Amino acid sequence: MKGRVFVIDDDADHREAAADLLSAAGHDAVCFASAAEALLVLDAADPGVILTDLRMPEIDGFDLIAALRDHGGDHPVILMTGHGDVAQAVRAIREGAEDFLEKPYDAGHLLLVVDRTLKARETRRELDRLRQAGGASEILGECLGIQALRQRISALATLDVDVIVTGPTGTGKELVARALHSKSPRSAGRYVAINCAALPEALFEAEMFGYAIGAFPGATGEKPGKLELASGGTLVLDEIEAMPLALQAKLLRAIQERALERLGENRVRPLDLRIVAIAKTDLAALTYDGSFRADLFYRIAGAEIRTLPLSEMQEDIPLLFAHFVAQAAARQGLAIPEVGFGARAALRKRAWPGNVRELKAAAERFALGIDAVTPADVRPITGATLADRIAEFEAREISGALQRCRGNTERAAELLGLPRRTLTDKMKRYGL
């Protein structure tokens, strides 16, 4: 991830060397000989990261952190320290610094820490944006797949075509339907959703087409059907694959002609609506075995949108989890608990068969203090051979050390008593 980095150091050689390294990696490095100079242009330049020496005349690293805290805003600080200042650097982290680098630092490690800090800041900004937007109808996430999904929704929303939305359970298909409606020229009209799996066959015509007075015993008044109510807006047919074939035939005629007759009435009423059909399975495949009418499918298949399972958006899992935790805590009037580095790593590793719906339920339990997020590595060792069991244990220990050190390989190597190169080789071997 690329961004603007303030480099603050009263040692010109150190300052320029760090700036050259960051610029070569694609960052916008801006140099300052003192913290006072950097503070003067803070608002205008908006750095993504501030890389600063700890020991400086007039305003040192501690003073800078305090000044940034008083100033407000999100300006993460990475401290550069000498060997004897590590204890002070740890104190600075308690006071708000993001991380620290011990001089002389490894060039690759510097770039890794800067990248991680920029990503953490972007995640915080995304969460703030979602909270301000309310998040009720937002398609959350920043991975490439979600970005492509949002772009497709925006492109199709303005077109007056029917849409099929498919995807596994718990992947936000109804959110897609609502987004298509809210971003369309029909947004001022009604959004009418029908669960096709829960609609009794005996009541289908009355519910869908409506009825006139005296249409059947007990019909003492007239009632418009769901199709008529959705005219001028959007009709959402949820779980359309569960609709019996006989009812599909009745629905097809109204959709095809964009008109209906209420039960007990000879008057033809025109329909002006958009249909969004939601299905858990591939409707086109169901037409091959005759379980879904091909003519109905081609009537509603103006375009198709596929939602993503969590397995295809793993990098967004911690962001989504933190968002749902914040929502749940706000509803209950509780403080928002921190989702630490180890918890974020565990969330990425866990399988989520229920997708976003399952993740949201886990986040709500976490916010209430009912469940903790534990690393996925907490399980019995099951290797068949001694070599397999040793490798499994080693991978678990390395993973645990990385979690305790917040992904800092240099500190994890020290904790494990390994050379850093050996640790990185083992991480590659075990896919960590």
Q: Which fold has domain 144-308?
A: Rossmann fold (3.40.50)
One digit per residue, pLDDT tens: the chain, 432 residues? 688 999 999 889 989 999 999 999 999 999 999 999 999 998 888 899 999 988 888 888 889 988 998 888 888 999 888 766 667 767 777 778 888 888 888 888 889 889 888 887 887 776 666 555 544 446 888 788 998 999 999 999 999 999 999 999 999 999 999 999 999 999 999 999 999 988 888 888 888 999 988 888 888 888 899 999 999 999 999 999 999 998 999 999 999 999 999 998 888 999 999 999 999 999 999 999 899 999 999 999 999 999 999 988 888 888 889 888 888 888 888 888 877 766 777 888 788 888 999 999 999 999 988 877 755 444 556 677 888 888 888 888 888 778 667 678 888 888 888 888 889 888 888 888
pLDDT at position 349? 78
Q: Which fold has domain 386-430?
A: Arc Repressor Mutant, subunit A (1.10.10)
Contact 346, 314 (CB under 8 A): no
pLDDT at position 376? 46
Closest by CA to 180, choosing from 199, 164, 169, 203, is 164
Q: One fold for both 4-133 and 144-308? A: yes
Q: Which fold has domain 4-133?
A: Rossmann fold (3.40.50)
pLDDT at position 85? 65
pLDDT at position 372? 73
pLDDT at position 106? 84
Q: Which CATH class is domain 311-367?
A: mainly alpha
pLDDT at position 82? 75
**pTM exceeding 0.85:** no
Domain spans in the chain, listed from the N-terminal domain onward: 4-133, 144-308, 311-367, 386-430
